[in-house]
Structure formats: structure tokens, C-alpha cells
Amino acid sequence: MSEQIRTITDKGQFEKIFSLFFANNDVFLRTASGDLKIVYMGFADGTVAFKIPYVKNMPDSCVILTRKDSYIVNGVFKLKEKDADDMYVFYPVQFQIISSPRKEERIDLGAGKSVLFITNLISDYILQNSLALSLKKVDNVKEILRFDLEKRFPYVKIYFLNEGMADPRMKYFYASPIPYFVANMNAQPDAKSQKMFNSYVNDIYAKDYMLQNRKNLIAEIAVPILYHGKIPYGYIQVNSDKPLTDGMFSVIKRLGVVTDELFKKNRLFVPETDRLLIADASFSGIGIVFRERKYIRYFKEGSYVIGDILLPNGARANVLCVVRNITLMENKIIKVGCQIKDIDALSEVHYHEYLESAGVKA
């Protein structure tokens, strides 16, 4: 079932919305650092009151949201005043009601045998910072790679995440970390390669003014550099004035793996080895909770994070996740909702066996 969105600005319906969705339900204030759990106090005379802790400077307008059954409700509110004891009064402006049912069951994990933890955490944000703080090591790795490549190709580019996300190839690999190979731009690609060729011409070549000014370069290979084979944090690009071969493609792909191994050898990237509690889990996602704010630096909405889920039987499941939401709960507990994007075959078997033993249905 696809999402359906309904926008309501009729003030005559606001009281019903508060009664159906906000009363006796979890409510959150959207902030720059994540969603903060707040308390709905009531609606009367066209204004609504919420108890909002921890906020020192409330903006003039804000978004407050809640979820009930298969509906997500986002409300836009204009601040009227602040009373004592963290009590804020707002004018409701409009609501969006989104019909968005969960696709699967999710299990809440309590104490005992079912407890899960995640460790060896690292995110693309940490990778980016580590590269920026170790430019000498990064330059050394670039020189090692260039030494051989520049003997074989007239143009070589090695790019890392700390250099920015505006680069079209970095954007491409961040969205889909699949190497590509354009053997000869002057030859018609076969049917299998047509889609990739069109994407390259329209999304990459069209934005690369250096290549457009060097018409003699007719072929390109580009491969992502992946942390643990999952998080893209750079790429290797070579261009030639002669058609390239599948053998050359294999060589450059191998160099992408070697590059990550060089950074491992230099211990450029250090994951977080503390164990963080997983509060709930499903086949497609996990909820991580912690109290110490030092861990928040590993999570940013929309970013990649990788880690090892520690299963009760001693097995581990290595997962790549996308951070979907960050929520500040009661008692200053932080909860991070993550969607599982990639999991290797053996890890998937271990993780799914655990969920099935806990009674979760796929």
C-alpha cells in the first residue's frame, strides 16, 4: 500500500485531530538534532499546550508529530507563549496526515536471553572526519596508487569523501556503490550496458568539464572505495585515449579493495567498540538506545552506519544501516531508528534465525 497524504487547514477539525492522534499518545518535537519526546497537555479555545523539556530557545514556529496505528501526523505550530514548568502554548496552523503502515512486525527486546547489542560502529560521518584529520596519510595512499596508474593511463583521479559531496562520481557511488566501465564512448554500447552508459553521459560526463575539454579521452573506469565492502568513502577513476578492456576493469576493481586495506593497515578508521543496546528489531531495521551523548556523533539522519549485531548465541551479524530518525526520549535516553540496507549472506542467516526464534514473522 503506497503512502497517502492529506493536508488539513480547517480549524474546525483541529480538536478532533488532537483527540484522535495526540491524546494519550507519544508526541515528538522535531529539532535539528532529532525528535524530542514531549507531552500533550490539551487543546482549548484554538490553542494547544505541550510540556517540552530541555529546550531553551523555542523558535516562533515548529513541527510536532505523532504516530498512531498506520498514520503519521505532522503539525505546524506557531508559538504563543511559554508558561512555567516547561509548558508551551501554540496556535496550530496545519496538519499533514500520512497513511504509512509498517510493512512488518517489530519485536521489543527486554531483559534476558533476547537482549541484543551492536558494536564496532562507524559511520560515513566518522570516515569523512578521519580523512580530513589525516591528510598526510591520505596523500601517501594517493601517491602509492598514482605511481603505477599514471604509467598506464593518461588521466587518473583519486577522490575521497572529505573533499565534498558535490562531485558527481562521489554522489553516484554514495547512492549506489557499483563500479562502472565505459569501454569506448565512440562505440554504441550493447543492450546490457545501455542504461549505465546513459546514466554516465547524463549524470557524470555532462558535469565533468575537464573531460569535455579533452575529447581524446574516450574511455573510463571508476570504482568505489568501500569501508568493509559497504560504506563508500572515495573512488578511483582512470580515463584513456584508447578503448579499455574487461581485464583493466578487474585490475582497477582490485585496487579499490587494496586502497581500503591500506587505510586499515594505517589504522585511519577506528570504530566504536562499546556495546550499545538494541531496543527493538525487525527483518528490515533496528532501534538503538543509549544515554551518553558521546555516541550521538556516530548518527546523523540519512547517513550510513555499519556495525556488528551481537546475537545471544555468540554469533555476529555485520549490517549496513541508514539512519532514519533520532529521538530524545524520557530521562534523556536517545533512540536511533535504523533501516538495514545491506547484510552479508551468513550474517543474514544468523540474524533471521534469531528473529524467527523470537517469534517475528517475515
Q: What is the CATH number of the domain that holds 190?
A: 3.30.450.40
The set of cell numbers assigned to 325 is 530518525
Domain of 50, CATH number, reads: 2.30.110.10
Domain boundary among 265, 296, 329: 265
Inter-axis angle of helices 246-265 and 135-152, nearest 10: 160
Tell me, yes or no, whether 188 and 236 share the same domain.
Answer: yes
Tell me, yes or no, whether 22 and 37 share the same domain.
Answer: yes
Is-contact 39 28, C-beta < 8 A? Answer: no
In a domain, 229, yes or no: yes
Q: What does each C-alpha distance from 168 to 63, 164, 174, 224, 260 come to in angstroms?
A: 33, 10, 10, 13, 21
- The β-bridge relationship of strands 304-310 and 276-281 is unpaired
pTM of the model: 0.73
In a domain, 334, yes or no: yes
In a domain, 285, yes or no: yes
Helix spans in the chain (H) = 14-17, 124-132, 135-152, 168-175, 194-199, 209-212, 246-265, 345-357
Domain boundary among 265, 281, 315: 265
In a domain, 278, yes or no: yes
Inter-axis angle of helices 124-132 and 135-152, nearest 10: 90
Tell me, yes or no, whether 76 and 168 share the same domain.
Answer: no
With helix as H, strand as E and coil as C, how does 119-172 read? EEEEEHHHHHHHHHCCHHHHHHHHHHHHHHHHHHCCEEEEEEHHHCCCCHHHHH
Task: Provide the pLDDT confidence category of residue 85 given band limits of 50, 70 and 90.
Answer: confident
Q: How far is CA 126 from the centre of its chain?
A: 13
Is residue 319 scored above 90 in pLDDT? yes
Interval 111-138: pLDDT, tens: 455 689 999 999 998 999 999 999 999 9
- The pLDDT score that the predictor gives to residue 4 is 74
Tell me, yes or no, whether 330 and 286 share the same domain.
Answer: yes
In a domain, 135, yes or no: no
Domain of 310, CATH number, reads: 2.40.10.220
Q: What residue has cell string 569501454?
A: 183
Give me the domain span that covers residue 68. Answer: 4-99
- The pLDDT score that the predictor gives to residue 104 is 58
Q: What is the mean pLDDT of residues 149-164?
A: 94
The set of cell numbers assigned to 274 is 562499546
Tell me, yes or no, whether 41 and 63 share the same domain.
Answer: yes
Tell me, yes or no, whether 261 and 320 share the same domain.
Answer: no
Max CA pair span of the chain: 77
Is-contact 92 48, C-beta < 8 A? Answer: yes
Tell me, yes or no, whether 24 and 119 share the same domain.
Answer: no
- The pLDDT score that the predictor gives to residue 322 is 94
Tell me, yes or no, whether 156 and 78 share the same domain.
Answer: no
Higher pLDDT, 225 or 191: 225
Q: What is the mean pLDDT of residues 329-341?
A: 87
Tell me which residue of 69, 72, 84, 75 sits closest to 29, measured CA to CA.
75
Total domains present in the chain: 3
Tell me, yes or no, whether 249 and 337 share the same domain.
Answer: no
In a domain, 236, yes or no: yes
d(CA 92, CA 88): 12
d(CA 278, CA 286): 7
In a domain, 161, yes or no: yes
Query: Residues of 248-281 as b/e, b for ≥16 C-beta within 10 angstroms?
Result: bbebbbebbeebbeebeeeebbebbeeebebbbb
Tell me, yes or no, whether 181 and 255 share the same domain.
Answer: yes
Query: Using CA of residue 247, residue 251, residue 252, residue 257, what is the dihedral sign?
Result: positive
In a domain, 283, yes or no: yes
